[in-house]
Amino acid sequence: MNAATDSKTFYGRDFLTLLDYTPNEIDTLIKSALTIKNNQAEYADVLKGQSLGMIFENASTRTRVSFEVGMTQLGGHALFLSPRDMQIGRGEPVKDTANVLSRYVNAIMIRTNSHELVEELAEHASVPVINALTDGYHPCQAMADLLTIHEHKGSLKGLKLAYVGDGNNVAHSLLAAGAKVGMDVSVATPVGYEVNQEIFEKAKTAAEDTGATLIQTNDPKEALQNADVIYTDVWASMGYEQEQDERLKQFSQFQVNSELASLAKADYIFLHCLPAHRGEEVSADVIDGPHSAVYDQAENRLHAQKAILVSLLTNP
């Protein structure tokens, strides 16, 4: 179901990309996540009797566990749905799947490749659809990232986040997140692995309202200058494993190590959406060092997604 435009409520909306949400709405979600995280007992029955259908086209650890546990902790129920076990995996139209699932569950979460498929699902579903990862965006991860940065830095506006690596869905959502909260984002990728230009332009347009500066570069040293947050991801995401050897060559100068990290501020924090390949995109001394907040970040997937679920499924 297409997102409503009422900025006063989230109820019944979709969660497909942060570009669909206003700065105030994202701030509200972060505050909600903090409240739920620090007062979990008070939310134990808030989604009692409600069900979340979880469609997974790709393998998952953090996404599946955090959504399933999150629904349980909120008093609801989550169903794992593999396309291999569903008719959609045998060619059933997305429209039919959307309409049928809408009769059974209160929301649909989907982790798939095609962002267009998620948009089609949302168009035909009469319940909220949550994008848990597509080739284009990873908004649930970005919400957990914002929550983590807020906890460690106390604020978001005016900070600088440097992303080093592949211009993938994580990079896209970080650009969107920074644009919406007023956080500068510098993305450094090898030549030929830049972020999607259309998404970059959309994020830059959104940044005009908050004053955030968004930069693309092929120089990781430029990106990391005076950064408050350093972020990286695997060099070959799911679906690109066959390019692993070539990417190891192309990305060899983009490893986040102590030498590169020394260009950031002395109190920087390091983030990685995991899984991580130590010795490739990040050195062990950085990801396992004192600046690393990757496990806080992973935990915050749970709390950020609980805030999203409560916001979309609780009628004010």
- Residue numbers belonging to the annotated binding site: 60-63, 87, 111, 138-141, 169, 233, 237-238, 273-274, 301
**Euclidean distance between CA atoms 17 and 199, whole angstroms:** 11
**ω before 275 within 30° of 0 (cis)?**
yes
List 13, 115, 247, 301, catalytic entry: 301
Give Cβ neighbours of residue 30 (< 8 Å, ≥ 6 apart).
143, 146, 147, 150, 156, 304, 307
Residue that is written with structure tokens 């106390």 in the block: 154
List 111, 115, 272, 303, catalytic entry: 111
List 50, 73, 141, 216, catalytic entry: 141
**Euclidean distance between CA atoms 225 and 202, whole angstroms:** 25
Catalytic, 219? Answer no
Catalytic, 297? Answer no
List 138, 150, 272, 303, catalytic entry: 138
Catalytic, 141? Answer yes
Task: Name the nearest CA neighbour of 253 among 285, 229, 277, 220.
Answer: 220
Residue 18 structure tokens: 């942060």
H or E element, residue 306: helix 294-313
List 273, 291, 297, 305, catalytic entry: 273
List 150, 216, 233, 303, catalytic entry: 233
Q: How far apart are the first and last CA of the chain?
A: 19
Annotated binding site for L-ornithine: 169, 233, 237-238
Are the CB atoms for 173 and 273 separated by under 8 Å? no
H or E element, residue 143: helix 139-153
Catalytic, 303? Answer no
- In degrees, rounded to 5, the angle at the alpha carbon of residue 299 between the alpha carbons of residues 52 and 13 is 35
Q: Which residues of 276-297 are buried (b: 16+ CB within 10 A; e: fewer)?
A: beeebbbbeebbeeebbbbeeb
Annotated binding site for carbamoyl phosphate: 60-63, 87, 111, 138-141, 273-274, 301
Catalytic, 301? Answer yes
Q: Which residues are catalytic?
A: 111, 138, 141, 233, 273, 301
